[in-house]
Structure 1
């Protein structure tokens, strides 16, 4: 099952959001315009707009209000991806050439800043002060998560708690904020708003853990990048933390990471394959399943509207996804 089929009835609104994304990054400076547009055209699941829209359906759903939230959130997410590609020196994302690879690091960083600025400009159309406070706090946390990831590169001594804190900041909070912001602009009750926040948070944690698992178990065609790319870039994810319990894998990674030469993909390939076949994958998936169960449980606190069933289907997809 494709994810988009779970919310097919949102297609008309999503098409308008897609057009709004393109309109928002229009720029007379051709490089900024072309680089921004390339990122939008590369596609994506548009999860943050979807969660904002679905959450709004638990209150007074006004598309023009939620559209501004959805566009802003997706642009913030996209800006973080452009910056990530510079930090990680990534040339491929979703099977397409990254902005930094097509142009250079300077253009990529400025493109990310430009997209980010456009997101904030779009968000000024939201009148609820609490929405602005929430977005500001979320962006601070997102930045902290990025700094932590840079700090912890190639560090094999980081632990389970460090990893969870990092993905909370880098991924889960932007998804939970998408759900909460959708609730805020549609004026749901406090109980519904809090439930939607918890759902988004737990889905976000599960989603990122599954992403980190798929980095080892997926194929290059499925991932749009080589398997094991995170480890090659020095990012120690949950499967790696569990795999380090194997002395051989730990020794191999210590040997490779402490060498003076630049690490090549072929050096890590045997370790990547070992991790993919190890119990670390099952252990990591069990953690994802715990967060997924919490997301399911939260749905019990929401009223029975159409969007609730869609949120359940999205959780089903995330728990079983292969890409």
Structure 2
């Protein structure tokens, strides 16, 4: 049902999105069948295409040109895909969205090169755009993503981290790429600077809500919804917002520490997830996500009154309340 709802929203601009999808597939052509096959499998694995969709819609606030917009939208999705491939190596993950990861199919060494190939392709494509501001935004975003990923590694199993630590980490890890998707969409279409700034802020707030919702789903979602076992972040030492808040609760803290220290079997993990689902940690995390979503909606409502503004609002609302 959730996926059908997203498809319904996307149907309003399907021809434009299909053009970007074709360009995305074309971008990963390689003389290596294994490399191209791995990339095509990633593309076909059921991603939400949030970043290229936001680039597409943001470009409608300027002089929209599908071919030009694709030169920003495709690289942004390739960067996102590369980060997922590298994440799966770091996390030793065999499944993503219910499908085998590149790492599980081809091994760590090949997976790292697949990620590097995707990053190289992204730079090659966006290099066809001449505006230096576009290149500055993209390069700065890539730097911040790398910093965010390193900080996440440094913060693994760090039980005393606080809300500020978490928010800074997800800003770099997730929100900035979504913000840049909106910003670059406006820039490539020559939208006025005030509108571009609003689009960027909208993307940032949506991105924060998006990642918090992702982290909530790791506790509240089912394996079928997630395409992987629930609680995986916690077991791998990735302490997300619900866990940070839960660790303050004397009733939850011992269970969370047992999970982090590898002292928890399948049955105990199921009990912990049940306890978390009915906890203030989940409710407070939802409230924080909702506050970011409300800020995003206010930014969207202040944009020029175009049909595409309504699409941005509908997608933002979906993102904040999704179940997968």
Compute the displacement of 1:249 (Å).
2.2
Q: Secondary structure at the match of 1:75?
A: helix
Q: Which residue of 2 aligns with 1:224?
A: 227
Secondary structure of 2:146's aligned partner: helix
Please list, as runs of the form range in 1=range in 2, the aligned pairs for 1:1-323 lying within 5 A after superposition.
2-258=5-261, 268-323=269-324
**How far apart, in 2, do the equivalents of 1:57 and 1:69 lie?**
13
User: Is contact 1:232–1:265 with CA below 8 Å preserved after alignment?
Assistant: no
- After TM superposition, the score normalised by the length of structure 1 is 0.96
Q: Deviations over 1:169-199 (max 9, x none)?
A: 0100000000000000111111100000000
Name segments (4+ residues, structure 1) moved above 6 Å: none
Distance 1:144 1:271 in 2: 31
| Aligned-pair CA distance for 1:236 | 0.5
Quote the Cα distance in structure 1 between the aligned partners of 2:226 and 2:143.
29
1:53 is displaced (CA, Å) by: 0.6
Pairwise CA RMSD of aligned residues?
Answer: 1.5
- Tell me the distance in 2 between the aligned counterparts of 1:275 and 1:92: 24
Contact 1:232 1:268 in 2 (8 A): no
Note the alpha carbon deviations across 1:142-193, whole angstroms, 9 max, x for none: 0001001111111111110000001000100000000000000111111100
SS of the residue corresponding to residue 247 of structure 1 reads coil
Give the SS at the match of 2:251. helix
Distance 2:265 2:113 in 1: 29
Deviations 1:6-64 (A, max 9, x none): 23122112112112111111111122112111111112110110000100001100111
Alpha-carbon separation, structure 1, partners of 2:305 and 2:254: 53
Three-state SS of the structure 2 residue aligned to 1:248 is: coil
Deviation string, structure 1 residues 240-296 (Cα, Å, up to 9, x no partner) = 11111222322233344346x8x7655533323321221111100000011011111
C-alpha deviations, 1:102-149, integer Å up to 9, x for none? 111111111111111111111111111100000011000000010011
Unaligned runs of 5+ in 2: none
Count how many residue pairs are aligned between Structure 1 and Structure 2: 321
